[in-house]
Amino acid sequence: QSVLTQPPSVSGAPGQRVTISCTGSSSNIGAGYDAIWYQQFPGTAPKLLLFASTYRPSGVPDRFSGSKSGTSASLAITGLQAEDEADYYCQSYDSSLSGYVFGTGTKVTVL
Amino acid sequence: EVQLVESGGGLVKPGGSLRLSCAASGFTFSSYTMNWVRQAPGKGLEWVSSISSSSSYIYYADSMTGRFIISRDNAKNSLYLQMNSLRAEDTAVYYCAKESPGGDAFDFWGQGTMVTVSS
């Protein structure tokens, strides 16, 4: 069972801005551990999208951005494009579990 | 180019064992912590286990402790996962993932290998 909670789905029209929340607790995001975000297309491996809560690996478009506050983190996609339709997962480290934890996952649909 | 190629998946009966392998190339394997992450069909990602660069530090998710054993051979640029006492709920795609230089993030993933536990 995931300890990071995400909305099951979000949707938006092309060009719009959508945000995905990732709610944790005082033993993970709230303890100061980074939120990491991944993008996954059906049948393929996840791809790193953001690390250290706000940094993008090279090659990731700047329409993807992240933030963190308290026990939560957020991923924002601005200027939504059809190719952004995928599943998105947050991840962090949990000190009470002494291991990594993933979010429940969010499916982004481009209308 | 970083490449991670998993192998060893397949169909196994409940209670059985399986050993997964992950062949790494394109980076200095011996310098990085490596992880296994799994994904049950239609479900989300679940971290399985982590092993530090020199195998000094090993961690498991609670549900895997005592049944799974992670190991690595830096001379062969390979990561392994020995899975014992397999259960139906272990059915998943198993990915090996390289940890980023700063730690915490998984910056490269393999394509995954499917493990099906069924009688």
For residue B74, name the pLDDT band (cuts at 50, 70, 90): very high
A102 to B46: CB separation less than 8 angstroms, yes or no: yes
Residue given tokens 């054993």 in the structure block:
B69
Integer Cα distance of A77 and A38 in angstroms: 13
Q: Say if residue B10's pLDDT is above 80.
A: yes
A99 to B104: CB separation less than 8 angstroms, yes or no: no
**Closest partner residue to A102 among B47, B105, B108, by Cβ?**
B47
Q: How many CA atoms lie within 13 A of B60 on its CB side?
A: 13
Any chain A CB within 8 A of the CB of B94? no
Chain B residue with the nearest C-alpha to that of A8: B44
Q: Which amino acid is at A80?
A: L
| Per-residue confidence (pLDDT) for residue A3, from 0 to 100 | 87
A89 to B45: CB separation less than 8 angstroms, yes or no: yes
pLDDT tens, N- to C-terminus, chain A (111 residues):
678 999 999 999 999 999 999 999 999 999 999 999 999 999 999 999 999 888 999 999 999 999 999 999 999 999 999 999 999 999 999 999 999 999 999 999 999
User: Which residues, numbered 62 to 81 in chain B, qualify as contacts with chain A under a Cβ-Cβ cut-off of 8 Å?
Assistant: 62
